[in-house]
Amino acid sequence: MQAWKRYTQNELNTSNPIKNTIYIYERCIIEFKKLDKALAKLHFSEADLILDKMEKIFEELKLQLNPEAGQELYDNIFGLYEWISEQIRQMQLLKQPVNIDTIIHVITQLKEGYEGVMKHESNKDTFG
């Protein structure tokens, strides 16, 4: 297991930021699905661990946004991250799933957007 963790960490450290963000989104989708099941089964300690992790991830994602890439895009994505963070705080407080399906949908849309950017960058590199 340690070798896998080292490999994953090395991949994240050496890959491009768009690819890293896509990976983070994929992991968040998995974690929110696990959270939904944990809350449904009333496994609050497991849910708390997931919520704490998700809270930290979205705070970090907010810090990584670059306003120089376009203020409107920055504002829109920051707003989505803020909304997700608020849903996380509500779940921490209420110990109930709050908009999890919508959160997963939003993250999926963000992931697809980043995949489109990565594909566009790849085509630009190929076709100059």
CATH number of the domain enclosing 26: 1.20.120.340
Q: Does the residue 93 lie in any domain?
A: yes
Averaged pLDDT for residues 54-78:
94
For residue 116, the enclosing domain spans: 17-120
Count CB neighbours of 106 within 10 A: 17
Rounded distance between C-alpha atoms, residue 26 and residue 15, angstroms: 16
pTM to 2 decimal places: 0.83
Evaluate whether residue 33 is within a structural domain: yes
**What's the pLDDT score for residue 69?**
84
Span 67-116, pLDDT tens digits? 998 999 999 999 999 999 999 999 999 999 999 999 999 999 999 999 99
Rounded Cα–Cα distance for residues 100 and 79 (Å): 17
- Name the token pair of 18: 């768009």
pLDDT tens-digit series, residues 6-19: 666 666 566 688 89
DSSP assigned state of 11: H
Instruction: Give the chain's radius of gyration (CA, Å).
Output: 16
